[in-house]
Amino acid sequence: MKVFGKTEYLNLYYRYFAPLLAGIDTSSWDVLLYLWPSEEMPKGMQGTRPVFSPPKTIRIPIVHLPNVAMETYAKSQESIIAHEYGHYVHTAFMGKDGSEKWQEWAELTGSSLDFQWTEKYAAHPYRVVPSYEDFAWDFSFWLQGKRWHMEQFYMSLWGQEAKATTENIAIFRKMIKELGKVGQGRLRELIEKDNPRALLYL
Protein backbone atom coordinates (compact mmCIF):
# COMPACT_ATOMS: atom_id res chain seq x y z
CA MET A 1 0.00 0.00 0.00
CA LYS A 2 1.31 3.40 -0.99
CA VAL A 3 -0.30 6.81 -0.52
CA PHE A 4 0.66 9.84 -2.61
CA GLY A 5 -0.39 13.45 -2.35
CA LYS A 6 0.51 16.90 -1.18
CA THR A 7 1.92 17.12 2.33
CA GLU A 8 -1.23 18.80 3.67
CA TYR A 9 -3.42 15.99 2.34
CA LEU A 10 -1.11 13.25 3.57
CA ASN A 11 -1.05 14.75 7.06
CA LEU A 12 -4.86 14.77 7.12
CA TYR A 13 -5.00 11.18 5.81
CA TYR A 14 -2.69 9.87 8.50
CA ARG A 15 -4.46 11.86 11.19
CA TYR A 16 -8.06 10.99 10.37
CA PHE A 17 -8.13 7.89 8.17
CA ALA A 18 -5.07 5.81 8.97
CA PRO A 19 -6.33 5.01 12.51
CA LEU A 20 -9.13 2.98 10.90
CA LEU A 21 -6.46 0.64 9.54
CA ALA A 22 -4.94 -0.04 12.96
CA GLY A 23 -4.79 -3.78 13.57
CA ILE A 24 -5.25 -4.59 9.87
CA ASP A 25 -2.34 -6.24 8.07
CA THR A 26 -2.19 -4.30 4.81
CA SER A 27 1.21 -5.69 3.78
CA SER A 28 -0.43 -7.69 0.99
CA TRP A 29 -2.53 -4.75 -0.25
CA ASP A 30 -0.88 -3.83 -3.53
CA VAL A 31 -2.85 -0.61 -3.90
CA LEU A 32 -1.92 2.96 -4.83
CA LEU A 33 -3.91 5.87 -3.39
CA TYR A 34 -3.57 9.35 -4.88
CA LEU A 35 -4.85 12.44 -3.04
CA TRP A 36 -4.58 15.39 -5.41
CA PRO A 37 -6.45 18.62 -6.15
CA SER A 38 -9.17 17.96 -8.69
CA GLU A 39 -7.49 20.14 -11.31
CA GLU A 40 -4.25 18.13 -11.02
CA MET A 41 -5.84 14.77 -11.69
CA PRO A 42 -4.98 13.00 -14.98
CA LYS A 43 -6.72 14.22 -18.11
CA GLY A 44 -10.35 13.10 -18.17
CA MET A 45 -10.48 12.61 -14.40
CA GLN A 46 -10.79 16.22 -13.26
CA GLY A 47 -13.90 16.51 -11.17
CA THR A 48 -15.21 15.56 -7.76
CA ARG A 49 -15.83 11.84 -8.35
CA PRO A 50 -13.44 9.36 -6.68
CA VAL A 51 -12.22 6.76 -9.14
CA PHE A 52 -10.90 3.22 -8.71
CA SER A 53 -9.00 2.04 -11.76
CA PRO A 54 -8.46 -1.74 -11.63
CA PRO A 55 -6.39 -3.47 -10.63
CA LYS A 56 -4.94 -1.21 -7.93
CA THR A 57 -5.18 2.57 -8.45
CA ILE A 58 -7.44 4.86 -6.41
CA ARG A 59 -7.72 8.56 -7.12
CA ILE A 60 -9.48 10.82 -4.62
CA PRO A 61 -9.89 14.40 -5.90
CA ILE A 62 -9.49 16.98 -3.15
CA VAL A 63 -11.85 19.93 -3.49
CA HIS A 64 -11.30 23.13 -1.52
CA LEU A 65 -14.68 24.42 -0.37
CA PRO A 66 -15.16 28.01 0.74
CA ASN A 67 -15.77 28.35 4.48
CA VAL A 68 -15.09 24.63 5.13
CA ALA A 69 -11.98 23.79 7.13
CA MET A 70 -9.79 21.12 5.53
CA GLU A 71 -9.97 19.07 8.75
CA THR A 72 -13.77 18.99 8.47
CA TYR A 73 -13.55 18.10 4.79
CA ALA A 74 -10.99 15.36 5.49
CA LYS A 75 -13.22 13.68 8.07
CA SER A 76 -16.12 13.77 5.62
CA GLN A 77 -14.00 11.79 3.16
CA GLU A 78 -13.39 8.83 5.50
CA SER A 79 -16.28 6.78 4.14
CA ILE A 80 -15.36 7.65 0.53
CA ILE A 81 -11.75 6.50 0.92
CA ALA A 82 -12.90 3.36 2.73
CA HIS A 83 -15.40 2.70 -0.09
CA GLU A 84 -12.69 2.93 -2.75
CA TYR A 85 -10.46 0.60 -0.70
CA GLY A 86 -13.44 -1.77 -0.80
CA HIS A 87 -13.32 -1.76 -4.59
CA TYR A 88 -9.65 -2.67 -4.45
CA VAL A 89 -10.32 -5.48 -1.98
CA HIS A 90 -13.04 -7.17 -4.03
CA THR A 91 -10.88 -6.87 -7.14
CA ALA A 92 -7.78 -8.29 -5.44
CA PHE A 93 -9.24 -10.90 -3.09
CA MET A 94 -12.79 -11.98 -4.00
CA GLY A 95 -12.03 -13.93 -7.16
CA LYS A 96 -14.32 -14.20 -10.16
CA ASP A 97 -17.87 -12.89 -10.12
CA GLY A 98 -20.10 -15.41 -8.35
CA SER A 99 -17.19 -17.23 -6.69
CA GLU A 100 -17.57 -19.09 -3.39
CA LYS A 101 -16.28 -16.02 -1.60
CA TRP A 102 -18.95 -13.88 -3.24
CA GLN A 103 -21.58 -16.45 -2.26
CA GLU A 104 -20.35 -16.41 1.35
CA TRP A 105 -20.33 -12.61 1.42
CA ALA A 106 -23.88 -12.48 0.06
CA GLU A 107 -25.09 -14.93 2.72
CA LEU A 108 -23.41 -12.99 5.54
CA THR A 109 -24.75 -9.62 4.40
CA GLY A 110 -28.14 -10.74 3.10
CA SER A 111 -27.31 -9.22 -0.28
CA SER A 112 -28.34 -10.51 -3.69
CA LEU A 113 -25.61 -10.85 -6.29
CA ASP A 114 -25.83 -8.85 -9.49
CA PHE A 115 -22.75 -8.47 -11.69
CA GLN A 116 -24.44 -6.78 -14.65
CA TRP A 117 -23.52 -3.22 -15.51
CA THR A 118 -26.43 -0.86 -14.93
CA GLU A 119 -27.29 2.82 -14.76
CA LYS A 120 -30.08 2.12 -12.26
CA TYR A 121 -28.22 1.83 -8.97
CA ALA A 122 -29.22 4.13 -6.11
CA ALA A 123 -28.55 7.74 -7.09
CA HIS A 124 -25.43 7.02 -9.13
CA PRO A 125 -25.37 9.11 -12.33
CA TYR A 126 -23.04 6.62 -14.04
CA ARG A 127 -22.94 2.90 -14.88
CA VAL A 128 -21.88 0.53 -12.10
CA VAL A 129 -21.92 -3.15 -11.15
CA PRO A 130 -24.41 -3.40 -8.25
CA SER A 131 -22.59 -6.11 -6.28
CA TYR A 132 -19.30 -4.25 -6.56
CA GLU A 133 -20.94 -1.15 -5.10
CA ASP A 134 -22.75 -3.11 -2.38
CA PHE A 135 -19.47 -4.76 -1.39
CA ALA A 136 -17.55 -1.48 -1.35
CA TRP A 137 -20.14 0.21 0.88
CA ASP A 138 -20.33 -2.73 3.27
CA PHE A 139 -16.53 -2.84 3.44
CA SER A 140 -16.52 0.88 4.16
CA PHE A 141 -18.98 0.41 7.03
CA TRP A 142 -16.89 -2.46 8.40
CA LEU A 143 -13.67 -0.48 8.22
CA GLN A 144 -15.36 2.28 10.23
CA GLY A 145 -16.43 -0.17 12.94
CA LYS A 146 -20.09 -0.59 11.93
CA ARG A 147 -20.06 -4.26 10.82
CA TRP A 148 -18.50 -6.23 13.67
CA HIS A 149 -19.99 -9.52 12.42
CA MET A 150 -17.97 -9.15 9.18
CA GLU A 151 -14.60 -8.89 10.96
CA GLN A 152 -13.53 -12.49 10.38
CA PHE A 153 -14.72 -12.63 6.78
CA TYR A 154 -12.98 -9.49 5.57
CA MET A 155 -9.72 -10.17 7.40
CA SER A 156 -9.63 -13.74 6.14
CA LEU A 157 -9.53 -12.44 2.55
CA TRP A 158 -5.87 -11.47 2.99
CA GLY A 159 -5.09 -14.31 5.39
CA GLN A 160 -5.42 -12.49 8.71
CA GLU A 161 -7.13 -13.90 11.79
CA ALA A 162 -9.62 -11.57 13.42
CA LYS A 163 -8.87 -10.73 17.04
CA ALA A 164 -11.95 -8.57 17.59
CA THR A 165 -14.30 -11.51 18.07
CA THR A 166 -17.85 -11.41 19.38
CA GLU A 167 -16.70 -13.03 22.61
CA ASN A 168 -13.87 -10.65 23.50
CA ILE A 169 -15.85 -7.57 22.46
CA ALA A 170 -18.59 -8.68 24.88
CA ILE A 171 -15.97 -9.13 27.61
CA PHE A 172 -14.42 -5.71 26.96
CA ARG A 173 -17.84 -4.02 27.02
CA LYS A 174 -18.67 -5.68 30.34
CA MET A 175 -15.34 -4.65 31.85
CA ILE A 176 -15.72 -1.03 30.73
CA LYS A 177 -19.14 -0.83 32.40
CA GLU A 178 -17.72 -2.16 35.65
CA LEU A 179 -14.52 -0.09 35.75
CA GLY A 180 -14.10 3.50 36.83
CA LYS A 181 -12.69 6.20 34.56
CA VAL A 182 -9.06 5.42 35.45
CA GLY A 183 -9.60 1.71 34.88
CA GLN A 184 -11.41 2.34 31.61
CA GLY A 185 -8.55 4.47 30.35
CA ARG A 186 -6.01 1.81 31.27
CA LEU A 187 -8.09 -0.92 29.63
CA ARG A 188 -8.40 1.10 26.42
CA GLU A 189 -4.62 1.59 26.37
CA LEU A 190 -4.10 -2.17 26.65
CA ILE A 191 -6.68 -2.92 23.95
CA GLU A 192 -5.12 -0.33 21.64
CA LYS A 193 -1.78 -2.13 21.87
CA ASP A 194 -3.04 -5.70 21.55
CA ASN A 195 -6.34 -5.50 19.68
CA PRO A 196 -6.91 -2.02 18.19
CA ARG A 197 -9.81 -3.10 15.95
CA ALA A 198 -11.82 -3.93 19.08
CA LEU A 199 -11.79 -0.26 20.12
CA LEU A 200 -14.05 0.56 17.17
CA TYR A 201 -16.76 -1.69 18.56
CA LEU A 202 -16.74 -0.57 22.19
pLDDT tens, position by position, 93-123: 999 999 999 999 999 999 999 999 888 766 6
**Sheet containing strand 2-5, strands side by side:** 2-5, 32-37, 57-62, 51-53
Q: What is the pLDDT of residues 148-200, one digit of tens each?
A: 899 999 999 999 999 888 888 888 889 988 888 888 888 889 888 888 888 88
Which residues are CB-contacts of 190 (< 8 A; sequence separation ≥ 6)?
none
- Whole-number pLDDT of residue 124: 60
Lowest-pLDDT choice from 4-18, 65-79, 86-100: 65-79
Radius of gyration of the chain, Cα coordinates, nearest whole angstrom: 18
List CB contacts of 85: < 8 A, sequence separation 6 or more. Answer: 31, 33, 58, 139, 140, 143
The larger pLDDT score, comparing residue 51 to residue 143, is at 143
Cα 165–chain centre separation: 19
Categorize the per-residue pLDDT at 44 as very low, low, confident or very high, splitting at 50, 70 and 90: low
pLDDT reported for residue 125? 63
Cα 78 from Cα 88, distance rounded (Å): 16
Percent of the chain surpassing pLDDT 90: 55
pLDDT band at 87 (very low <50, low <70, confident <90, very high): very high
Could you give the C-alpha distances from 53 to 33, 34, 45, 177, in angstroms and in order?
11, 11, 11, 45
Q: What is the C-alpha to C-alpha distance for residues 142 and 90, in angstroms, rounded to an integer?
A: 14
What is the model's pTM? 0.88
Strands 32-37 and 51-53 turn out to be: unpaired
| Distance (Å, whole) CA 58 – CA 33 | 5
* Dihedral angle of Cα 167, 173, 174, 177, to the nearest 10 degrees: 180
Query: Percent helix, strand and coil across the chain, each rounded to 5?
Result: 50, 10, 35
Report the C-alpha gap between 169 and 86 in whole angstroms.
24
Residue 61 near residue 29 (C-beta atoms within 8 A): no
